[in-house]
Structure 1
Amino acid sequence: MTDIPIHSKSDREKNPLERQQKLMELLSQETRHSIIQALLGHPKTLASADEINHFIPSKSKKTVGEQLDVLVEASILAVYEYPPNKEKRGLPWKFFGFTEYGADILGDFNYLKGVPMARAVHQKTRKPEKIERHETAPRPPLPEPVRATLRLDDEE
């Protein structure tokens, strides 16, 4: 599943549709799809593992963790660290977010059209104090190309 090339080389690909099929398979698996939706709904599009798990209650933490690893290996997501939070009890310091490649793929597969709905669901979902604390915790900025693709600057 994670042997999908990071960048398409259409001129060298024997079957460009094969790459599309692999990406569709990668993105449409139930847990991975839910992870993507949880991240798209997050106000900063950058969430801790606990935040993501909160929005996927039907799956175990282990399952969500395994699928996060698959998305990281496929370069759809990256782990963004915020070392200042390491010293603060109760705050996450590792966050999952889209890579530039991942954001481009989401655009190519029309995932970004659902962002307003995902944000509305996220905002209306009741969250325990721990998840509220995680959601408002300081975090690193996403790379500018990712911010631009996800149109994060338009909302601030």
Structure 2
Amino acid sequence: MADVSANPRADREENPLERQRELMELLSQETRHSIVQALLGHPKLLASSAELNHFVPSKSKKTVEEQLEVLVDAGIFALYEYPPNEDRRGLPWKFYGLTEYGADVLGDFNYLEGVPMARAVHRKTRKPEQIERHEAAPRPPLPESVRATFRLDEETD
């Protein structure tokens, strides 16, 4: 599981322009950009790999999973586990979600402005039964700072 408290930004504080360029390159790559958009549209901001694959249909499952790992390694996403689901057939127990650092980066690059549109697209997208089951599955909580960024506690489902 990724260390969600780590701040990869600290490695390059001495050259913030280089770090900004690297982040722009990281986020603008087509598959990663699509993954970030798919996650921002998710009502719980935590998605299984199957859910993300469904919302990035133009790429293979392997490609999506490789790019998820890039986002985790960069500290933008973390892998959140929910062990109670591990033994429940048909339910995911590993979810991808933003870290506090990831939420800050996306805020810095104005990705958060598009959250209402991403959520509307997510709601209107036709989902097969497996994806609906995954979306409804219990999942672990996000860090409080991430929940606050997206005002998750203020929303009703």
- Structure 2 length-normalised TM: 0.92
- In structure 2, the residue matched to 1:147 is 147
- In structure 1, the residue matched to 2:8 is 6
- In structure 2, the residue matched to 1:88 is 88
More displaced stretch, 118-127 vs 144-153: 144-153
| Cα distance in 2, alignment partners of residues 133 and 9 from structure 1 | 40
- In structure 2, the residue matched to 1:105 is 105
Q: Unpaired runs of 5+ in structure 2?
A: 1-6
| TM-aligned CA distance change 1:117 to 1:8, over 3 Å | same
Corresponding pairs, count: 150
1:7 match: secondary structure: helix
| 8 Å Cα contact 2:47-2:96 kept in structure 1 | yes
Superposed displacement of residue 149, structure 1: 1.2
TM-align CA RMSD: 1.3
| Cα distance in 1, alignment partners of residues 140 and 53 from structure 2 | 20
Runs of 4+ in 1 over 4 A off after TM superposition: none
Superimposed CA distance per residue, residues 3-52 of structure 1 (whole angstroms, 9 cap, x where no aligned partner): xx713478x51x32111000000011000000000000000010000000
**How high is the sequence identity, in percent, across the aligned residues?**
77
| 8 Å Cα contact 2:9-2:19 kept in structure 1 | no
- Structure 1 length-normalised TM: 0.92
Superposed displacement of residue 151, structure 1: 2.0
| Cα distance in 2, alignment partners of residues 6 and 150 from structure 1 | 22
- In structure 2, the residue matched to 1:31 is 31
